[in-house]
Amino acid sequence: MCAEQFTEVAPWYDDLMAEVPYQNWVRYVEKLAQLHGLSPKSVLDLACGTGRVSRILAQKGYAVVGVDGSPAMIREAQSKTNGEIPFYCQRMQELSLNQRFDLVICLFDSLNYITEPSELQAAFCRVSEHLNPEGLFIFDVNGEAAYTNNLFTQTSLGRWRKVQYVWQADYNPSTRICEVHMRFIVNENGRKREFFEVHRQRCYTVLEIQNYLQQAGLECLECLDAFTTRPATKASDRIYFVARKILAEHNQSHE
């Protein structure tokens, strides 16, 4: 039987991502914010998953809120703190917090999981509503190169870990949908158990994203090859965007 995405894997997610250099990712986001003149105090970690990045940000002194659409991932996030970080289960398209932030981040392919363009537009509008004036939205997406180079066909078999996996990706360039059939093998108290999830992502072009940002009142400032300050190219498998909330007066002066 196949579970829904980000359900059965939730308790194993941090083991699975043990080698991801989240500290460096946070430093990179801080650098991008700084380059654009922002010293944020409040941060919304959108699609926060199990809250790894939220916890790093909180340790650095930011006032962090985490939101994710998966109840199982949010339960994991909540179980790893003493309640000092508020975590909410909401879909980005329907984000509704009674609060605005200096910085909203959305990392690690999370936006690619929105497979309907109109819903991505809705998510950007919700982000815009939750940003303080001049606030920044920093996020990454997978570039088309990640899908065409089949980066999601992966296996960890052969290396000892608490969780092992075999992933088979199937990218359709006409629909721009990538389905990744994931088999996980976990070690539960010395016994092996396997489960399956199918993850669905959509590939968006830079131009599409720039348009959706603009429609949501967000000005796209940069599209970067991930973890650099170089512009993204067709070869970029991960692209970072920096967008700024357009001020209302600025909108009016252009009408």
Ligand X SMILES: C[S@@+](CC[C@H](N)C(=O)[O-])C[C@H]1O[C@@H](n2cnc3c(N)ncnc32)[C@H](O)[C@@H]1O
- CA 133 remoteness from chain centre: 22
Counting residues that bind ligand X (by CB under 6 A) gives: 20
**Among 88-96, 158-166, 186-194, 217-225, which window interacts with ligand X (CB under 6 A)?**
88-96
Q: Which of residues 57-86 bind ligand X (CB under 6 A)?
A: 68-70, 73
Min CB(110)–ligand X separation in Å: 4
Least distance in angstroms from the C-beta of 60 to ligand X: 16
CB of 101 within 8 A of CB of 134? no
Nearest of 87, 93, 135 to residue 115 by alpha carbon: 93
Chain mean position to CA 227: 15
Query: Which one among 8, 30, 33, 49 touches ligand X, defined by CB under 6 A?
Result: 49
Q: Which stretch binds ligand X (CB under 6 A): 35-43, 87-95, 139-147, 234-242?
A: 87-95
**Which is it for strands 131-142 and 238-245: parallel, antiparallel or unpaired?**
antiparallel
User: What does the alpha-carbon distance between residue 209 and residue 241 come to, in Å, rounded to a whole number?
Assistant: 9
91 interacts with ligand X by CB under 6 A: yes
CB of 248 vs ligand X, minimal distance in Å:
27
Q: Which is nearer to ligand X, 4 or 194 (CB)?
A: 4
Residue 54 in the binding site for ligand X (CB under 6 A): no
Report how far residue 143's alpha carbon sits from residue 158's, in angstroms, rounded to the nearest whole number: 29
Distance CA 160, CA 156 (A): 8
Instruction: Work out whether 92 is an interface residue with ligand X (CB under 6 A).
Output: yes
User: Which residues from 190-249 bind ligand X, rule CB under 6 A?
Assistant: none
Contact set for ligand X, span 28-47 (CB under 6 A): 47
- Minimum distance, C-beta of residue 236 to ligand X, in the bound complex (Å): 18
Give the full edge-to-edge strand order of the sheet including 154-155.
2-3, 191-202, 177-188, 163-172, 154-155
CA 125 to chain centre: 16
Are the C-beta atoms of 83 and 23 separated by less than 8 Å? no
Taking Cα atoms as reference points, which of 91, 77, 50, 112 lies closest to residue 241? 112
- Least spacing, CB of residue 111 vs ligand X, in Å: 8
Contacting ligand X within 1-30 (CB under 6 A)? 6, 17
Which C-beta is closer to ligand X: that of 17 or that of 247? 17
Least separation, in Å, of the C-beta of 190 and ligand X?
28
Nearer to ligand X, 95 or 218 (CB): 95
- Overall residue count recorded for the chain in this entry: 255
Q: State how far the Cα of 177 lies from the Cα of 173, in Å rounded to an integer.
A: 7
143 lines the binding site for ligand X (CB under 6 A): no
Kindly state the tokens that stand for 206.
């830079």
179 binds ligand X (CB under 6 A): no
List residues binding ligand X (CB under 6 A): 6, 17, 47-49, 52-53, 68-70, 73, 91-93, 107-110, 113-114
